[in-house]
Amino acid sequence: MRQPMVAGNWKMNGSSDSVKELMNGIKAGMGGVNAEVVVCPPFVYIPSVADAIGDSGIKLGAQNMCDQDAGAFTGEVSGPMLKDVGCEYVIIGHSERRAMYGETDEVTAIKYGAVLKNGLKPIFCIGETLEEREQGITEQVVGRQIDAILNSDGVASLANAVLAYEPVWAIGTGKTASPEQAQEVHAFIRNKIAEQDKVIAEGLRILYGGSMNSANAAELRSQPDIDGGLIGGASLKAEDFLVICSAGQG
């Protein structure tokens, strides 16, 4: 049985006060969740969120990481630093980083390897643009993005990783993939991994991301190959995030 996961990607949002309030809200509702709950704050708030987490069982993640461990890399944050402040997960390959910060398949693969090398777990994001979906090449695109990490780190590396299928056209748009659309791609991903290693594929958590919210979470989470969600906008309100974290699991 795969343990479901719901991870909040706060992106570049929040303030000292709002982060405190959000954490208090999430902690108050942890009794009802049926998933591993992860929050990924902006770097500067990670230490205060780590304090707030206490013994609540909430896990901590970062949104990005440098592939180098230390040195003259102005503006970057390394794996050892993230470990030092209590992170367990790191989001890698988010479509915003791919589109706005030039992260190619090659860059995402290097970062993925660096996360693992540091004893952290990547939440590796993949997904097609609207244009690619309309061209009917969703599986090629997602397949290519996964091949980048399979070719560099091998299928066994997925034992310590989580994948997140996030169709770019669904991120922040309010346009969610239908449960059937999402399940179809999730099944493709699991089958692709199974061609190399059935046991790894069976144990691999594949999250859905892209306008998942309190209204559609239960149906998405009930799909057989959807093991939870990577949540942007709806993770910024404790009440909405908690509904997603406790949505009925199939």
Contacting residues toward ligand PGA, per CB under 6 A: 9, 166, 171-172, 209-212, 230-234
Looking at residue 44, its amino acid is V
Q: In whole angstroms, give the CA distance from residue 18 to residue 2.
A: 33
Q: What's the min distance (Å) between Cβ of 123 and ligand PGA? A: 9
> Which is catalytic among the residues 94, 96, 128, 186?
94
CB of 170 to ligand PGA, least distance (A): 6
Query: Which amino acid, residue 206?
Result: I
Please identify, using beta-carbon distances, which residue of 1 and 12 lies nearer to ligand PGA. 12
131 included as an active-site residue: no
Reply yes or no on whether 166 is catalytic: yes
Active-site entry in 96, 103, 166, 186:
166
Phi and psi at residue 127, to the nearest 5°? 160, 155
Residue 29 C-alpha from the chain's centroid = 21
Comparing every residue's Cβ against ligand PGA, the nearest one is: 232
User: Mind giving me the DSSP string for 80-141?
Assistant: HHHHHTT--EEEES-HHHHHHS---HHHHHHHHHHHHHTT-EEEEEE---HHHHHTT-HHHH
Q: CB-wise, 72 or 100, nearer to ligand PGA?
A: 100
Closer by beta carbon to ligand PGA, 92 or else 212: 212
Measured from the CB atom, the residue of 125 and 155 that comes closer to ligand PGA is 125
Annotated catalytic residues are 94, 166
